[in-house]
Every structure is written in C-alpha cells, then in structure tokens.
Amino acid sequence: MPPPLVRGFSGTDAPAAAVYDTCIRCGLCLQSCPTYLETSLETSGPRGRISLIRAVGEGHLDLCSPGFVEQMSECLDCRACEAVCPSGVRYGRLIEPARAQIRSAQGAQDSLLARIGRYVSLQLLFRHLGLMRALASVLRFAQFTRLDRLAPLAGLGDLAALVPRIPGSAFVARGQRYETPQAAGLAFLHTGCIMHVAFPRVHEATVRMLQRAGLAVTVPPDQGCCGAIAIHAGEADLGREMARKNIAAFERSGADVYVVNAAGCGSALKEYAEMFPVSDPWHERAERFSSRVRDVVEVLDAVELPSPSIAFDGTVTYQEPCHLANAQRITAAPRRLLMKIPGLRLVEMQESTLCCGSAGIYNLTQPEMARRLGERKATAIGMTGATTVATANPGCAMHVDATLRRTGAQAHVRHVVELLDDAYPRERFSY
Ligand code: SF4
Ligand code: SF4
C-alpha cells in the first residue's frame, strides 16, 4: 500500500513561513549555488527549493513526493545562497527542518537494512566515540594490510577512497590540561568525532598555537560530537542530545572560550540555541554557550602572535569551508594567518567559496554530484599551480584530498593551523 500523502509541516522542527516568505524570488543567489551551476535547473537552486518548501508548507505538495525529497537531499546545505541573499533569507533554517520533517514522516517506511545502517552510523558511532576509535583501528589495519583494496567488491569503493591515512593514535579527550605561563585565559578544545581519529595532528598543532596565543588549554572528557552530521541528516532529537552534552561539559569546565578547529562543527556549535524553543531552559544556556564558541582561526587572528621564524617554500591556495565562509562569515582571518608564514605564496583559486562536494555525508549520499563538484574544485586548484591546499574543515580536507588523488594531482591538503604551527620551533612543547 502506498504511504499516505503528507500535506503541510507539523511539530516543532518545521520550516517557518516567516523564513520562507522573506524570499523575494530575485534569483541573486543562483550563481552562488553549486548544484544550480552544475545543472542549470531552477529546482536545483535555492529559489526553486524555497518554492518547493513553501508549496509543502502551504499544503500544495506532498512532503514525501519524490521531487521534494530529491531536492532536499541534493542541496549541500552549504549556505552559499544565505551569504549572498539581499533579503536575509536564513536558508539553513529551512533546509535542516525540512529534512527533519521528511525523516520523521519516512522513518517508519525505511527498510530494516536502512534502519540498521542509520542506527549504527548515527546513533552508535557518533554517540559513542570509543566505537569510532575502534572503527578507525579496523580501517587502519585494512590500510596497512592493503585489504582496503577489496572495498569496491563490497560496494564500499567510494567510502574507502574517502578515508584518509588513519594515524597510529587518536587525540582522545581525557581531561588533559596544557598550562601556559601567565595565561590570559583557559581554552576548551573541542576534539570532535572524525577529527580526533583522522587528524589528531591538527589538534596537537591547535594546542601549541593556542599556547603561543597565551592561553592554557583544557580537553574535558565529558564532551562529544557536535551533532552537525545528525542535524544535517534530519535527526534533530539526536542533535539536541549532543548539544546538551557539550553545553554542560563547557559549563563544568570553567573555561573562557570554546575552541573548535572544524568549520562544520563550529557552525553547529554557534547555532545550538536555534534547536531549542525559547521556552526551553536549554535555549538560554545554549545562547550563553554559543557566545563563547570561536573557530581557532578567529582566536589566533585576534591576538598578537609571536613572529613565525621557519619559512615555507611553496605555493598555497586556500579552499574556503562553506561553514566557515557562509555560515560563520569568516574569510579574512585564515588568509591573514597564512600570510604571516615567511616565504609562503598565497594564490587565490577561482570559486574558492564554492562547495567542494563534501558537505558532511553528502559525498556518500549523493556521490555523483559530489564527484562533479570535487572535480570542478580540483580543476580550480590545478590552475593555481599550488603545491598545498589549505583548509579548515576535516570534511573538505578528506574530499579534496581524495579527489586530488583520484585525478592524479600532486598538491596535498593541510589545515591552516598545521601550516602556521610548522612555522614555529617546537622545543617548548611536549609533543
Ligand atoms: S537571493 Fe534570497 S530573496 Fe533572492 S531568490 Fe535567493 S533566497 Fe530568495
Ligand atoms: S545551501 Fe548550497 S546547495 Fe543548497 S540551495 Fe543554498 S547554495 Fe544551493
């Protein structure tokens, strides 16, 4: 029997008419939208998607109609449209609730296999980071023994290609404390889910740079995943659970600032309050929390750092993470930090703010569009002649790196903070 038609939105996690009605249909966002640029289809652009959301909200279109579901999935949630909209449409406040509505209507119709996959990936792995580390160990073993070459036989070729070289040890939040003489404050380091197993060296570089910025650093063990992946996948309740955990951990820590080095996480952490109705006591706590969240590049850019002394001999181009440039509106700070490095030549790529196709788990759910956008990005990188691509988000780092390897390009990808940290001597530090 076909599922019943669903007209209109319901419940608290719903796109609000007050948001979609601010769209004046001017179309100024179209040329910023990666999926519109790739398809030239109105429905694959922000204006078309907002019209679809309005049509469902007003009861003219079924929530679970294939066209609507497809467009809500094809959108990268990169928020490039939001950054250029003259009418101030808060597009992120439409797409994420729209996905939550679809999820809640379709959840019961998922196959058993899909439900198990969703439970294992979202409810287990991102909630219990010990399991994430166990999975990382398995992946590391598969990479070491070259068993990962068999992944395509199991239909996991795209996933295996995306996984970076897993290092021997993770950066686990165990309550470490890194003291700094005459510290100006205490920074709480958010270690995240993917970041702490795939890029522990970025956390190590972040600690050293925060110390150079005059801050002591604490890494409380009661923190968790930021919830961005769950929120983007329409799992609003799980996102709220993760938000409550991080807010409470920060309150207990006594830290002055909550520092994050993954742009996607930072964007979610700064918007926690929007997940709770104003009447919920967590709303106010979330507002207080989010006012203390800073991307590491913001922290480092705001202080007088000691002058870096080790030269970088190479050309770097900067790939802007969507959730740093579009959601947090941070574009100048990472460039200013890179320019501090002696010898570094920064060359801008075309379309630096255009999404690379990573977008959380988009490269797994929409592999064809992710591949097209990745190759578009690789071409733009190639035109700069850069040997290094700097970025500030693990998802971008993995997707761009995988695309460069697939296309035979020689450039490699590094976090802005790693490049900056390399420009300083390390004797003072225990790593
Ligand atoms: S720029 Fe803003 S107002 Fe104009 S069509 Fe896009 S979303 Fe609507
Ligand atoms: S969030 Fe990105 S992909 Fe989605 S409509 Fe806006 S610009 Fe296009």
112-163 pLDDT, tens digit each: 777 787 787 778 889 999 999 999 999 999 998 988 887 877 777 777 888 8
The percent of residues above 70 in pLDDT, for the chain, comes to 98
Q: How far apart are CA 360 and CA 373, in angstroms?
A: 14
Q: What is the pLDDT of residue 122?
A: 79
Q: What are 317-365's pLDDT values in tens digits? A: 999 999 999 999 999 999 999 999 999 999 999 999 999 998 888 888 8
Distance from chain centroid for Cα 281: 27
Say if residue 212 is in the same domain as residue 294.
yes
Last residue of one domain, picked from the residues 88, 109, 130: 109
Query: What CA–CA distance (Å, rounded) separates 257 from 190?
Result: 10
Kindly state whether residues 234 and 348 are assigned to the same domain.
Answer: no
Are 188 and 288 found together in one domain? yes
Assigned domain for 7 exists = no
CATH number at residue 410: 3.40.50.1860
CATH code for the domain in which residue 81 is found: 1.10.1060.10
Q: Mean per-residue pLDDT for 46-70?
A: 95
Judgement on whether residues 86 and 127 belong to the same structural domain of the protein: no
Are residue 116 and residue 105 in the same domain, yes or no?
A: no
Has residue 12 been placed in a domain? no
Q: End of a domain among 280, 301, 322? A: 301
Which CATH number characterizes residue 199's domain? Answer: 3.40.50
Testing ligand 2's pocket by substitution, the residue of 25, 29, 91 carrying the most ligand atoms inside 8 A of its CB is: 91
Overall size of the chain counted in residues:
431
Indicate if 383 and 407 belong to the same structural domain. yes
Nearest one of 195, 206, 189 to 136, comparing CA atoms: 195
pLDDT at 265: 96
User: Is ligand 1 within 6 A of the CB of residue 88?
Assistant: no
| 399, burial (CB in 10 Å: exposed 0-12, middle 13-18, buried 19+) | buried
162 ligand 2 Cβ < 6 A? no
Residue that wins the pLDDT comparison between 78 and 104: 78
CA 417/CA 357 separation, integer angstroms: 22
**Ligand 2 centre from 239 Cα, in Å?**
21
Q: Are residues 322 and 266 in the same domain?
A: no
Q: How far apart are CA 20 and CA 47, in angstroms?
A: 10
**264 and 329 co-located in one domain:** no
Does residue 414 lie in a domain region? yes
Ligand 2, residue 46: give the atom nearest the CA.
5
Closest CA relative to residue 401, chosen from 143, 132, 161, 145: 161
pLDDT over threshold 90, residue 226: yes
State residue 106's pLDDT score: 82
**For the residues of 251-304, what is the DSSP string, one character each?**
HHHT-SEEEES-HHHHHHHHTGGGGS-TTSHHHHHHHHHHTTEEEHHHHHHTS-
Sign of CA dihedral 82, 88, 93, 94: negative
How do residues 62-99 score in pLDDT, each as one tens digit?
999 999 999 999 999 999 999 999 999 999 999 999 99
pLDDT one-digit tens code per residue, 270-314: 999 999 999 999 999 999 999 999 999 999 999 999 999 999 999
104 lies in the same domain as 124: no
User: Quick check: is 372 in a domain?
Assistant: yes
Q: Check pocket membership of 262 for ligand 1, CB cut-off 6 A.
A: no
Query: Position 301: which residue type?
Result: D
Q: Work out the pLDDT band at 371, boundaries 50, 70, 90.
A: very high
Ligand 2 center to residue 265 CA distance, Å?
18
Does the Cβ of 357 fall within 6 Å of ligand 2? Answer: no
pLDDT tens-place string over residues 149-200: 878 777 777 778 888 889 999 999 999 999 999 999 999 999 999 999 999 9
Query: Which residue, 292, 266, 225, is CA-closest to 393?
Result: 266
In a domain, 427, yes or no: no
Could you tell me the strand order of the sheet in which 257-260 lies? Answer: 176-178, 215-219, 185-189, 257-260, 293-295
In this prediction, residue 11 has a pLDDT band, given cuts at 50, 70 and 90, of confident
Q: Is residue 168 part of a domain?
A: no
**278 lies in the same domain as 297:** yes
Distance 48 CA to ligand 1 centre (A): 10
Closest approach atom of ligand 1 to CA 91: 7
Question: Residues 257, 196: one domain?
Answer: yes
Task: Confirm if 190 and 255 have CB atoms less than 8 A apart.
Answer: no
Beta bridge partners of 7: 62
Residue of 166, 161, 195, 198 lying closest to 402 (CA atoms): 161
**Kind plus residue range of the DSSP H or E element containing 215:** strand 215-219
How many domains, the chain? 4
Cα separation of 263 and 266, whole Å? 5
What letter represents residue 234's amino acid?
Answer: G
Last residue of a domain, one of 162, 196, 227: 162
Token couple for 314: 């190479």
Instruction: Please determine, for residue 426, whether its predicted confidence score (pLDDT) is greater than 60.
Output: yes
Q: Two tokens at 162? A: 């995306």
Residue 431 lies in a domain: no
Both 117 and 205 in a single domain?
no
Q: Is the residue at 429 inside a domain?
A: no
- Compute the average pLDDT of residues 224-245: 91
C-alpha of residue 352 to centroid of ligand 1, in Å: 21
d(CA 52, CA 67): 9
Lateral strand order in the sheet of 314-318: 344-346, 314-318, 388-391, 412-415
Residue 319: give the domain boundaries.
314-421
